[in-house]
Amino acid sequence: MTNRSAWLNMAIITCIAGSLMFSYLDSQPLLDPDEPVYAETAREMIQYNDFISPRIYGNYWYDKPPMYYWLVAGAFKAFGDGEFAARFPSALLAVGGAVLVYLSGRKLFSERAGLLAALVSATSLEYFYLGNAAVTDMTLTFFLTAALLSFLHRKYYLLYAFAALAVVTKGPVGVFFCGTIIGAYLLVTGSVGELTRMKLMRGAGLFCLIALPWYLAMYAIHGMAFIDTFLGFHNVTRFLQPEHPSGKLWYFYLPVLIIGFFPWTAFLGQAVWAGIREAGGNRKARIFLVLWAAIVFLFFSASQTKLVSYILPMYPPLALLVGWYFDKAWTDQRYGSLKGAAAAFVLTIILLAAGLLYAGTAVSGALLLPVKLLAGFLALPACAAAFYSLRGNFRAVFATHIAGMLLFTALLMTQVLPVIVPGVSVKAFVGVFKQHYDGKAPVYVAKFYRPGFMYYSGMTGVELDVKEELQLAVSKQSKAYFIMQKSQFEKAPAAVKDSVQVIAVQEDKILFVKNSN
Contact 464, 446 (CB under 8 A): yes
Residue 415 has pLDDT above 60, yes or no: yes
- Containing 212, the helix (H) or strand (E) segment is helix 200-222
83-108 and 315-332 helices cross at what angle (nearest 10)?
40
| pLDDT, mean of residues 62-85 | 95
pLDDT 10s digits, 339-366: 677 777 777 777 777 766 665 565 555 5
Measuring CA to CA, which residue among 152, 144, 180 is closest to residue 313? 144
| pLDDT, mean of residues 66-91 | 97
What percent of the chain has a predicted confidence (pLDDT) above 90? 62
| pLDDT, mean of residues 58-64 | 89
Q: Is the model more confident about 360 or about 295?
A: 295
CB atoms within 10 A of CB 175: 17
Contact 300, 253 (CB under 8 A): yes
Measuring CA to CA, which residue among 132, 126, 101 is closest to residue 116? 101
Contacts of 220 (CB under 8 A, 6+ apart): none
Distance, in Å, from the CA atom of 395 to the CA atom of 400, rounded to the nearest integer, reads 9
pLDDT recorded at residue 355: 67
pLDDT recorded at residue 366: 59
Contact 304, 240 (CB under 8 A): yes
Contact 140, 339 (CB under 8 A): no
Instruction: Please report, as a single letter, which amino acid is at residue 248.
Output: K
pLDDT recorded at residue 233: 47
pLDDT recorded at residue 305: 77
Query: Which of 142-151, 317-326, 340-349, 507-516 comes out lowest in average pLDDT?
Result: 340-349
pLDDT 10s digits, 420-429: 888 889 999 9
pLDDT recorded at residue 469: 80
| Strand 443-446 with 59-60, pairing | unpaired
pLDDT 10s digits, 397-409: 899 889 989 998 9
424 Cα distance to chain centroid: 16
- Containing 79, the helix (H) or strand (E) segment is helix 67-79
289 Cα distance to chain centroid: 20
Q: Is the model more confident about 370 or about 55?
A: 55
pLDDT 10s digits, 469-495: 888 888 887 899 999 999 889 888 888
Residue 377 has pLDDT above 90, yes or no: no
Contacts of 507 (CB under 8 A, 6+ apart): 422, 423, 486
**Is 0.75 surpassed by the pTM of this model?**
yes
Q: From the CA atom positions of the chain, what is the Rg in Å?
A: 25
Q: Measuring CA to CA, how many Å separate 128 from each of 11, 149, 399, 501? A: 18, 21, 17, 43
pLDDT recorded at residue 357: 65
Distance, in Å, from the CA atom of 444 to the CA atom of 511, rounded to the nearest integer, reads 10
Q: How confident is the model at residue 195 (pLDDT cuts 50, 70, 90)?
A: very high
Report the chain's mean pLDDT, rounded to a whole number. 88
Q: How confident is the model at residue 55 (pLDDT cuts 50, 70, 90)?
A: very high
Residue positions counted in the chain: 517
pLDDT 10s digits, 125-150: 999 999 999 999 999 999 999 999 99
Distance, in Å, from the CA atom of 69 to the CA atom of 135, rounded to the nearest integer, reads 10
Q: How confident is the model at residue 434 (pLDDT cuts 50, 70, 90)?
A: very high
What percent of the chain has a predicted confidence (pLDDT) above 70? 92
- Containing 352, the helix (H) or strand (E) segment is helix 335-363
Residue 338 has pLDDT above 80, yes or no: no
pLDDT recorded at residue 310: 94
Residue 52 has pLDDT above 60, yes or no: yes
Query: Which of 108-112, 181-185, 237-241, 350-354 comes out lowest in average pLDDT?
Result: 237-241
CB atoms within 10 A of CB 202: 12
pLDDT 10s digits, 6-44: 899 999 999 999 999 999 999 999 999 999 999 999 999
Contact 47, 103 (CB under 8 A): no
Query: Which of 47-61, 306-320, 330-344, 465-479 comes out lowest in average pLDDT?
Result: 330-344
pLDDT recorded at residue 4: 80
- Output the 3-class SS for 232-257: HHHHHHHHHCCCCHHHHCCCCHHHHH
pLDDT 10s digits, 228-287: 777 654 454 444 455 555 556 778 899 899 989 988 998 898 899 999 998 888 999 999
